[in-house]
Structure 1
Amino acid sequence: MRAINLEGINKPFELVEKPQPVLAAGEVLVQVKAAALNHRDVWIQYGKYFTKDYPAVLGSDGAGVVKALGEGVAADWLGREVLIDPTTDWGDNPQVQSRDFKVLGMPQDGAFADYVKVNAANLHPKPEHLRFEEAAALPLAGVTAYRALFSKCGLQAGEKVLVTGVGGGVALLALQFAVAAGAEVWVTSGSEEKLERAKALGAAGGINYRQPNWGKELKAQVGGFDVSIDGAGGEGFVQLVKLAKPGGRIGLYGGTTGMLGQLNPAEIFWKQLSIFGSTMGTSQDFAQMAAFVQEHQVRPVVDCIFPLEQAEQAMRYMEAGKQFGKIVLKVGE
């Protein structure tokens, strides 16, 4: 089978031939139709991820068709179109992942290949309204957005939500999920074009975080937010605290701009704010996310599709940060 191999740190992604995976009891072989990129893949390429196990076949997000079953797997999975939950070993505490928590695509070979093996327990029916490329855009971004919004921040219909850095996969799905749940959603971006595209997806409005005093201007327009979803951190996080309504909740799933800046503790405790750290999610979060997507007919935004053999070019495109939506590799017909 074809696979995208990463030989080591700072090496390019290369197309190679590898044998098909051998199944153990409880596992299935999925013929991958599409796989999506995550920034996790670039961090692994640069040796900045906590797991370092090379050579590796990466790819956490995949959708495809079940082609073979290991011992003990229900026969009705064979031939079904599926979405893969890429995480295993969360542990017994739904509040936090265990030390054994793993993500598909290191140490286990991932979805950047013609075939991938996974536990049958990690299979979910592909939402019927989605193409494979759209379904592949869901797993990590979808469960991260869903957990931050609902499992952690407890979003309710009618609340005001701020999603920062719209254009990335998690932020876009957080926007789409919140709109589908009946919230009034506002967004931030450094691009006027992305702000306009977010409005087309249902955002009530947005603001460019590159302009001076963007937080004050947004507060003047909106008044404040019940929930904010952020993947950046940095100095901008200070503005989220200022923009939070009394009793507000902030879900933080990333830190691309670094340390959280000069926070004023009084603004947090006097307004009784809740700040939740959140990353990925439990198997229950994933199942609920997939059901939500099916119920509300959510379509993940796909920015562009590369053929499997152009994985290295796709990574560099993602690293440039100009995309609006997920970057997907087309693997099979």
Structure 2
Amino acid sequence: MRAITITQESEPIQLIDLEKPEISKDECLVKLSASALNRRDQWIREGMYPGIEFGTVLGSDGCGVVEEGPDEWVGKEVIVNPNVDWGDDAEVQSSAYSVLGMPTNGTLAEYIKVPSHRLHEKPAHLSAEEAAALPLAGLTAFRATVKKGASNTGKKVLVTGAGGGVSQFAIAFANASGAEVYVTSGSEDKIEKVKNLGVIDGFNYRDEKWFKGASKVGGFDTIVDSAGGNQLNNYLKIIKPGGRIVMYGSTTGHPEKVDVFRLFWSQAHIMGSTMGSDDEFTEMLEWVDKHNIKPTVDKVYNAEDYIGAFNRFKEPDSFGKIVIKF
């Protein structure tokens, strides 16, 4: 089978031939039709991810058809829950937790073997490419926005970095909850695009005083953020008293300082979030079905053009999830 692995070559990601996996009891062999990339795949390519094990098949998201396994699964079109060993505590992952694609072989291959309890039937209203884009980004956004961010009717929610896959799911879940949704982006074009997804307005963070315009909406109950860095102090200026700042990433690094006085005086909550439990994955899929949520797919690439797919992360006009078809 063809698979995209991480290597020690000058170009670390390579499309190679591997033996098709053999399954044991209670496992399923899934023939993958589409897989989606995540930022972590690119970070692994760049050597910026902890615990890289060369030879691992990359990819956390996939949709396909079960070829072998328990009778009740064979022939079904499924998506794969990428969680590995979340553990029994719903609030936090276990010390053994990981995600498919490092160190466990992932979805950027023609086949994957997984325990049958990792599978869910594909939402009927989604294409294979859309369903492949759902698992990791959808779960991350659902936990951050709905479970930790408490997005709900009448709440004002700010989602930062409007062009990314997780942020667009956060927009979708916040809209589905009945909240008023706003965004930040460094691109006016992307702000206009997300208005078609139900966003009320956006603020360009390249303007150093963007938070002044944002403050005119009356403050935010929830801010869902992947950037971190020095923007944290701007978030503290526009969060409502007792509001929630939920951070699931830190693409701009650590803040140089934190306005602690504003933090404690506002009674604000700064909350960390990553991925989500298996129960939350099931609940996320229920929301996707109930509210007819569809991922935004940026581009679909054939497996042979995998380098182009990975390089798409570097292009400023990328918008939504990048999908590879096998």
TM-score, normalized by the shorter chain, greater than 0.5: yes
Deviation at 1:321, TM superposition (A): 4.5
Distance 1:272 1:9, change over 3 A: farther
Contact 1:59–1:105, Cα closer than 8 Å, also in 2: yes
Q: Does 1:272 align with 2:275?
A: no
List structure 1 runs of 4+ shifted beyond 4 angstroms.
none
Give the distance between the partners of 2:140 and 2:323, measured in 1 at CA. 18
The letter for the 2-side match of 1:54 is F
Deviation at 1:10, TM superposition (A): 5.3
Alignment of 1:213-252 (within 5 A): 213-220=209-216, 222-252=217-247
Unaligned runs of 5+ in 2: none
Q: Partner residue of 2:42?
A: 42
Give the distance between the partners of 2:76 and 2:44, measured in 1 at CA. 31
Alignment match of 1:122 (pick from 118, 122, 127): 118
The letter for the 2-side match of 1:19 is E
Q: Partner residue of 1:51?
A: 51
Contact 2:146–2:173, Cα closer than 8 Å, also in 1: no
The letter for the 2-side match of 1:47 is G
The letter for the 2-side match of 1:158 is G
Give the distance between the partners of 1:244 and 1:119, measured in 2 at CA. 43
Q: Partner residue of 1:65?
A: 65
Q: Partner residue of 1:131?
A: 127
Give the distance between the partners of 1:212 and 1:76, measured in 2 at CA. 56
Alignment of 1:282-297 (within 5 A): 282-297=277-292
User: Deviations along 1:28-78, whole A, 9 cap, x unmatched?
Assistant: 111101000011111112222122211121010101111101xxx4x2111
The letter for the 2-side match of 1:190 is G
Alignment match of 1:174 (pick from 170, 184, 187): 170
Give the distance between the partners of 1:205 and 1:48, measured in 2 at CA. 34
User: Deviations along 1:100-148, whole A, 9 cap, x unmatched?
Assistant: 1121112221111111111111101111000010011111100000000
Contact 1:9–1:47, Cα closer than 8 Å, also in 2: no
Contact 2:146–2:174, Cα closer than 8 Å, also in 1: no
User: Deviations along 1:138-174, whole A, 9 cap, x unmatched?
Assistant: 1110000000012212222110000000010000100
Contact 2:221–2:244, Cα closer than 8 Å, also in 1: yes
TM-score (norm 2): 0.97
User: Deviations along 1:200-247, whole A, 9 cap, x unmatched?
Assistant: 100011111111310012102x01000000000011121111110011
Q: Partner residue of 1:91?
A: 87
TM-score (norm 1): 0.95
- State the identity as a percent: 47
Distance 1:57 1:211, change over 3 A: same
Give 3-state SS (helix, strand or coil) of 1:147's partner: helix
Q: Partner residue of 2:11?
A: 11
Q: Does 1:192 align with 2:188?
A: yes
Alignment of 1:289-308 (within 5 A): 289-308=284-303
Contact 1:160–1:225, Cα closer than 8 Å, also in 2: yes
Deviation at 1:252, TM superposition (A): 0.1
The letter for the 1-side match of 2:313 is M
Give 3-state SS (helix, strand or coil) of 2:72's partner: helix
Contact 2:4–2:108, Cα closer than 8 Å, also in 1: yes
Q: Does 1:326 align with 2:321?
A: yes
Deviation at 1:299, TM superposition (A): 0.5
Give the distance between the partners of 2:9 and 2:165, measured in 1 at CA. 25
Q: Partner residue of 1:31?
A: 31
Q: Partner residue of 1:262?
A: 257
Contact 1:4–1:309, Cα closer than 8 Å, also in 2: no
